Amino acid sequence: MKATIAMGAALTSSLLLIGAGMGVVGAKTVSAANGMGKRALVVGDQDGSPGYTENFNPFSVNALNGIMFMYEPMYEVDGITGKQIPWLATAYKWVNNTTLQFTMRQGVKWSNGKPFTAQDVVFTFNLLKKYKAADVNGIWTFLKSVSSSGNVVTFNFSRPNVPGWQYIAQQQIVYPPQFQHVNPVTFTDTHPVVTGPYVVGSFNPSQYTLRMNPLYWQRNLIKVPAVTEIALSSNQTSDLQMSQGKFDEAILFEPGIQKAYVDKNPKAYHYWFPLSSPTALSFNLTKAPFNNVKFRQAMAYAINKQAIYKQGEYGYEPPANQSLLPPELNKKWLNPSLAKKYAYNYNPKKALSLLESIGYHKKNGQLVGANGKQVSFTLECPTGWTDYIQDMAIIQGDLAKLGIKVITETPSVATDYNDVETGHYQAAMVYGWTESNPYYVYDYIMSSSASAPVGQATTFNANSERFNNPAANKLIAELAATTNVAKQHQIVTQLEKISFTQVPIVALVSGAAWNEYQTNHYVGWPTAKNPYANPQLSTINALLVITHLRPVK
């Protein structure tokens, strides 16, 4: 079960949340009007064990996914194709390579009736500057100042950063009076004021309902009168609920999706699992032996990725490339000679050879170091994530053949995320992002700006391994500064080489963006043939999806 933590600055990511339902799922019936549907859209996309805590603060790691229907960015960016769609802003322009301007939309109101202004945008970005932990995309590592004049907001950069546009454009904007006297990282927001299509309707720990915002600026595009989010607790329970048609959209790992779901109602039950950057084995690189690159290389050879693909992930997620890029980006950017040289195919003998080269040896079936003790570490993933638990069992068995003892643990989602984010772990399973540009993958996974000292939180899979490579940092900055396509390819090749040789995380399989949906009540969902948005309603593209959905006539 892979779960999405909703982050206010969450790129175009399809964080892969898989969960299971809790309680009785029911769609609230709403009176039809102006082409509206008659029922709430029922969504199962966020872990809720033991239950939801009411928190709609987009800066909080504990925020409920409903924030994606409530807070809005200046631009939407299709997480699959990269297409840019004006949202709270109507246009943008580069004045020069370090000055970016957005023209803000007029006539937008906050849900309390107050006018939305360019000053609200300035406030939001200065809040990120004041509270670094809220700046999950490291915007202020390249931003020097932000100001407004009339309805134009100007961002002055300290250095050229072309891809930085997306981090800024997709930042969710907040209402200043609500955040000016609180710490945005720790604030629990139960009564959000928003510009988006929905506001809080009802709440209890097992589910909550968002109701239509009557002041929404593009209300004519919204045909879904309410959204009900169901708390998920285990794959098995939620898979059953999904097969019974109780979710309009779910983000669930379902073994045998065709038989278990689609075949029960082929005309109405569907799925689309776009592939993302890798599901990976993350080591805490501040600890031995994980800080030794040859140890990490050995792990990349020691694990049977084909078995994880076929057994742990039921044939949904093919073996990943150590480039760390999603398959679609590998088609455009991968250097074939590097891919061939560093294939990291399953090779236990090669793995053992690498381990022996750094002082380990087999003794009585155990791999021991210079101190004579067996190599041992703890590997964790959240409880209930059945595919990851199977993946861990495969890893455990593969490494046991080398004499390494792997202890698997399945803490709660909150505990696992906290362990990884704060660096209080040895090894963990992490998921990937769907991105349309290699910059965002490498900036997110390999840049020091995405990391933090042990004890300080990162985003769950944003360099939470604490990888620190000056060459990678320099290349990422160079990639950000150029619009020359040939130079971009040269830089990406160098970043790929660092990923192949340094193995910041061990790529296992290409993560699938789990996404099941039905068309009994609403149509207009993103599909492989019409990939107008990342399909998962736990991402910022939820706004794109909700403006496309229409009730079945």
What's the domain count of the chain?
Answer: 3
d(C-alpha 541, C-alpha 521), whole Å:
20
d(C-alpha 52, C-alpha 192), whole Å:
16
pLDDT score for 122: 98
Q: Is residue 409 part of a domain?
A: yes
Is the same domain home to 155 and 210? no
d(C-alpha 173, C-alpha 150), whole Å:
17
Report in angstroms the alpha-carbon separations of 201 from 211, 225, 227, 428.
Answer: 5, 11, 9, 37
Return the C-alpha torsion angle 400, 403, 404, 409, nearest 10.
40
CATH of the domain at 205: 3.40.190.10
Contact between 67 and 58 (Cβ < 8 Å): yes
> Could you count the other beta carbons within 10 Å of the beta carbon of residue 376?
13
CATH of the domain at 444: 3.10.105.10
Give the position of tokens 């910059």.
439
Is the same domain home to 240 and 294? no
Q: Is residue 373 part of a domain?
A: yes
What element of type H or E holds 269?
strand 269-271
Q: Is residue 141 part of a domain?
A: yes
Q: Is residue 31 part of a domain?
A: no
pLDDT score for 414: 84
Alpha carbon 261 to chain centroid distance? 25
Is the same domain home to 496 and 547? no
- Please list the ranges in the chain whose pLDDT falls under 70: 1-34
SS3 (DSSP) at 295 = helix
Is the same domain home to 368 and 491? yes
Q: Is residue 376 part of a domain?
A: yes
Is the same domain home to 490 and 528? no
Say which DSSP state 90 is in.
Answer: E
pLDDT score for 16: 29
Is the same domain home to 154 and 239? no
Residue 510 tokens, joined = 């290409």
Is the same domain home to 66 and 82? no
pLDDT score for 223: 98
Structural domain boundaries, residue 244: 41-72+187-274+513-551
Work out the burial of residue 222: count CB atoms within 10 Å of its CB; fewer than 13 is exposed, 13-18 middle, 19 or more buried.
buried
Please spell the DSSP secondary structure of 467-518, one letter per residue.
---HHHHHHHHHHHH---HHHHHHHHHHHHHHHHHH-SSEEEEEEE---EEE
Is the same domain home to 337 and 208? no
Residue 136 tokens, joined = 């999950």
pLDDT score for 24: 29
Of the candidates 162, 179, 196, which is a domain's last residue?
179
Pairing of strands 522-523, 550-551: antiparallel
**Phi, psi torsion values for 506, nearest 5 degrees:** -90, 110
Q: Is residue 495 part of a domain?
A: yes
pLDDT score for 29: 45
Is the same domain home to 129 and 68? no
Contact between 242 and 56 (Cβ < 8 Å): no
- pTM of the predicted protein model: 0.84
pLDDT score for 91: 98
Is the same domain home to 421 and 318? yes
Alpha carbon 145 to chain centroid distance? 28
